Structure 1
C-alpha cells in the first residue's frame, strides 16, 4: 500500500520481509530513549528484548514504512496479547540463559530484565488493576509497538502503519488494540482515536498509560 505523507513524500506500507529486520532493530535502538538513541553498548540486548519476540514468534504481524528501499519506520504487532504472553515464556527463558552465559554484555537492561523475568521486580504493565486488564484482554486484545526515524515523525507515517495493522485486525474480527506508553506519545495516540483505559504512577513522577482503540 502506497501512502503520500503530508509533505508529499511517498512511502510504501507493507509487511516486513526477512531482509528488513536489521533496519527494524536499528530504528528500535535509535529511538529507544524516548525518541532518542540509546548508548551503543546497549544495542545488542535491547533490540533482542524488544524486537526479537516479534521477529521470531510473530513476524507476519510486523509492518514497515519504506521510502524506495530504505526502511524508515516499523510497527511490531500482536493480535492476541494473552496468547503471546504464554508463547513468550520460553523466549524469555532462553534470553535469560544467554545473559547468564555472557552472550550479552551485562548492563542495567540485562539486570532489569532478569529481575522482572524472575519476578523480583515488576514490569510496568503488571501494576495495572485487574479491572483494567479485564477490559484490555476482552475489548483491546491486540497490541503494538511503533517507532520511526526522526525525519519521518509527525508526517503521517505512524498513522499509516497503524491504519494498515488495524485493517488486517478487522479481517480477523479483532475488537481493539491497546498500547502502554509514557506521557510523551499520548497525544499522538489520542489523535488516532485511542482512549485512556487507566494510568498509573509507576515510580514517583513517572506515569504509564494504558490506551485502547476500538476497531
Structure 2
C-alpha cells in the first residue's frame, strides 16, 4: 500500500514512540543512548495526542507502519498547565532521579528534565508549538511539508496566529527544511534555535 497521511489514532502510540526514538539524536537514531526506549516519547511525543488528539497526524509507510508524525498544541502555556496536572506527576512517580551511570546513556538527563520542567518561554504571537519527525525512508518526499501544512490549516481554523519550535544546531537538515517552508530563526541558544512560523 502507498504511504498515507492521516489523523492520529490511539493505536498509533507505539509507532509514535518508535519514530521519536529513531530520530531523537538531532535527527539520528537515539536507540543506543537510552536504556528505556519510552523515555523520549514520554517527553516529546506522548502527551500531545492525549491533551489534544485533533492536532496530531501520522504518516504510515507502504508497510502500514507509522514512519512519521507531527504533534502539536495550539496553546503552549495551557499545555504546560495540563502537563503539570495530568502528565508529569505519573512519570515523576514512575521514574526516580538517578545518577549518571557513566556509560554514555542519557536516561538520567531526561528523568531530571521531567522532574524539573519549567514553563516554556513562548514568543509573542506564536503560541502554538510542534514536534515533527520522519524516518529516513520517507524524508525528501514532501511528507514533512504536508504534515506542517496540515497542522497549519488546523491551527488557522482555530484562530492561532503562529507557531514555534526548537531545533538543535547540529540538525542542519531540519533547520534547512524549516527555512524552506517559511520558518525563520527567532532566537539562538547554546543548544540551537527557536524558529517561528506566522499563520495569519
Which sections of structure 2, spanning at least 5 residues, go unmatched?
Answer: none
Corresponding position of 1:59: 53
User: Which residue in 2 is equivalent to 1:46?
Assistant: 40
- 1:13 and 1:164 in contact (8 A); partners too: no
Structure with greater proportional strand content: 1
Which runs of 5 or more residues in structure 1 are unaligned?
A: 1-8, 127-132, 202-206
Residue 71 (structure 1) aligns with = 66
Q: Structure 2 length as normaliser, TM-score? A: 0.82
1:85 is aligned to: 80
Which residue pairs with 1:4 in the alignment?
none
1:94 is the counterpart of 2:78: no
Q: Deviations over 1:61-88 (max 9, x none)?
A: 1101123533221011111101001111
Shift of 1:182: 1.1
- TM-superposition CA deviations, 1:23-53 (whole Å, max 9, x none): 1111111111122222262312222222221
CA shift at 1:54, angstroms? 1.5
Aligned CA distance change for structure 1 residues 209 and 19 (closer, same or farther; 3 Å): same
Q: Residues 114, 73 of structure 1: CA spacing in aligned structure 2 closer, same or farther, 3 A cutoff? A: closer
Q: 1:195 to 1:98 in 2, by over 3 A?
A: same
Give the alignment's TM-score, normalised by structure 1. Answer: 0.77
Moved over 3 A (4+): 107-110, 113-119
CA contact (8 A) 2:17 2:45 kept: yes
Distance 1:24 1:49 in 2: 12
Change (3 A) 1:169 1:158: same
Report how far residue 101 of structure 1 moved.
9.8
Kept in 1, the 8 Å contact 2:36–2:107? The answer is: no
Partner SS, residue 100 of structure 1 = coil
Name the SS of the counterpart of 1:42 in structure 2: coil
User: In 2, Cα distance between the equivalents of 1:211 and 1:178?
Assistant: 6
Structure having the higher helix fraction is 1
2:97/2:108 contact within 8 Å kept: no
User: Does residue 21 of the first structure (1) align with residue 13 of the second (2)?
Assistant: yes
* Alpha-carbon distance between aligned partners in 2 of 1:176 and 1:140, rounded to the nearest angstrom: 4
| 1:204-215 paired onto structure 2 within 5 Å | 207-215=191-199
**Cα contact 1:99–1:110 (8 A) shared by 2:** no
The CA distance in 1 between the partners of 2:158 and 2:73, in whole Å, is: 12
